[in-house]
Amino acid sequence: MVCEFRGQRIAPSLADFREHRYRKEGRDCYMFFLSEECVIDNTAMGSPARFTNHSCAPCLYSKVLELDGKLHLCFFARTDIKAGQELTYDYRFKEEDTDQKVVCQCGAPTCKGTLN
């Protein structure tokens, strides 16, 4: 395991509200939808895992583990990671048929072009 995505566990409805508020305030938003009932909000407090970026050819993969009845989002190395290498994973956003596509800037040869 490379790191764990930690933060405040909140309901999806509160996550939607906070995301809208963060965007309105011009703040970055670091959340991970763990399950239908739980979102981890890592925006105000959490672990350095919030600074991992998206890549279509990531060096990490995420896995949800249950320990002592609690879900944990952990990142594991997909490949050997060199000192100073950027830590990336595939955000796996839902595909959307919308004009508001998020352009991917990962630069990977296998880049899909958009995150959603």
Q: How many whole angstroms separate alpha carbon 33 and alpha carbon 113?
A: 22
Q: How many CB atoms lie within 10 A of CB 89?
A: 20
pLDDT digits (tens, 9 = 90+) for 58-77: 999 999 999 998 889 999 99
Give CATH for domain 3-89: 2.170.270.10
User: Given a cut of 70, is residue 96 above it in pLDDT?
Assistant: no
What does the pLDDT read at residue 15? 96
Q: List the chain domain ranges.
A: 3-89
